[in-house]
């Protein structure tokens, strides 16, 4: 059955300007980190991508290593681009990244020009694209001069392989230097992708948010739901099918302490008083001050995307609600 996008897809989504650029991004973007790889059901991924676009999510975030296996999320997305989204390419913002391990030998990860350029060429081939809208350095490389990595990003724009460039997981000092280098090259930094949630506020403490705001750079927060911790899934303990219950991954069972679960339950009660799920409140919190351009959500089924988008129905917090949240959060060791 031929896909035709909803004619109401732009009726309710909120779009925010990305820093000082002309680019608008949806308040919620969809990441393909999990559940879109070669080991995952293709039709489930297709249904999620279709529904996300129908709800006004125009930004799809990938990386060279997303899968598993690495590269397979880009291949899956490329298949959808060729069929379902072929007529809508100019309505989409497609991003990819390079920085983590992709192939054997000394040139298969980090931030050298050789790796960054080769990786983007591979990503474009997997997705069947002439260019991506945003190309990121996925992580800072301690052994490659920042000038080289930023120079590689600049080169991709001047080659027409990317429209904008971004960085991810750089601290405030590294970001300020990257901004300076890219400005001198004539390719301004569009966006930074840091981890950020109610349970992970390093960008506030590090001063990264201030650097971005002062320099007119946008931001996209990844893991705003803290790998699912800030959802109703953990309110009654650790489910057997959760990421925390799996032996590998960024979230492990040892991190999900009884104390933390108690705080999650308290936050869930506050969300219920606001007429929201915990996930909806957590997303609203990330977007609350307008300093985050877009929150990057993940999903394993269509209903999660639908639930998350409803967070935009209530983005306003009273001072009392924020004080209660701070009291709960500050008690977490």
pLDDT in tens, 91-140: 999 999 999 999 999 999 999 999 999 999 999 999 999 999 999 999 99
- The answer to whether the pTM exceeds 0.85 is yes
Question: Between helices 72-82 and 42-54, what is the axis angle to 10°?
Answer: 60
Classify residue 153: in a domain, yes or no: yes
Q: Contact 221/293 with Cβ under 8 angstroms?
A: no
Structural domain span for residue 101: 15-330
For the chain (length 333 residues), average pLDDT per consecutive 10?
A: 95 98 98 98 98 98 98 98 98 98 98 98 98 98 98 98 98 98 98 97 97 98 96 72 52 76 94 97 97 97 98 97 95 62
Q: Is residue 3 part of a domain?
A: no
Q: What is the pLDDT of residue 250?
A: 52
Is residue 8 domain-resident?
no
Query: How far from 100 is each of 103, 119, 123, 204, CA to CA, in Å?
Result: 10, 10, 13, 25
SS (H, E, C) 124-160: HHHHCCCCEEEEEECCCCCCCCHHHHHHHHHHHHHCC
Largest CA distance in the chain: 55
> Cα(331)–Cα(63) distance, rounded to whole angstroms?
35
pLDDT at 232: 86
Residue 10 in any domain: the answer is no
Per-residue pLDDT, 256: 83
> How many structural domains comprise the chain?
1
Q: Could you tell me the CATH number of the domain that includes residue 116? A: 3.20.20.100
**Domain annotation covers residue 101:** yes
CA distance 228 to 295: 14
């Amino acid at each position: 059955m031929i896909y035709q996008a909803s004619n109401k897809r732009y009726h309710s989504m909120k779009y925010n300007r990305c820093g000082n650029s002309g680019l608008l991004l949806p308040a919620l973007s969809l990441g393909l980190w999990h559940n879109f790889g070669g080991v995952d059901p293709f039709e489930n991924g297709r249904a999620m991508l279709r529904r996300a676009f129908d709800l006004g999510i125009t930004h799809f975030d990938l990386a060279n290593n997303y899968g598993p296996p690495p590269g397979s999320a880009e291949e899956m997305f490329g298949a959808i681009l060729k069929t379902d989204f072929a007529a809508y390419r100019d309505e989409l913002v497609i991003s990819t990244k390079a920085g983590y391990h992709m192939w054997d030998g000394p040139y298969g990860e980090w931030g050298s020009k050789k790796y960054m350029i080769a990786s983007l060429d591979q990503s474009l081939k997997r997705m069947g694209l002439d260019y991506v809208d945003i190309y990121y350095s996925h992580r800072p490389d301690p052994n490659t001069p920042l000038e080289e990595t930023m120079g590689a990003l600049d080169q991709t724009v001047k080659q027409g392989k990317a429209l904008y460039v971004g960085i991810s997981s750089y601290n405030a000092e590294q970001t300020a230097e990257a901004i300076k280098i890219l400005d001198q090259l004539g390719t301004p930094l569009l966006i930074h992708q840091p981890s950020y949630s109610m349970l992970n506020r390093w960008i506030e403490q590090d001063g990264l948010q201030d650097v971005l705001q002062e320099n007119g750079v946008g931001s996209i927060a990844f893991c705003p739901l803290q790998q699912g911790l800030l959802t109703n899934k953990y309110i009654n303990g650790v489910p057997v099918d959760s990421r925390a219950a799996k032996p590998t991954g960024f979230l492990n069972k040892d991190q999900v302490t009884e104390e933390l679960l108690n705080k999650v339950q308290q936050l869930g009660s506050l969300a219920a008083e606001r007429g929201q799920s915990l996930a909806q409140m957590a997303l609203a919190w990330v977007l609350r001050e307008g300093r985050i351009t877009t929150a990057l959500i993940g999903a394993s089924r269509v209903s999660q995307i639908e639930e998350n988008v409803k967070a935009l129905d209530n983005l306003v917090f009273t001072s009392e609600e924020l004080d209660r949240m701070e009291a709960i959060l500050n008690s977490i060791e």
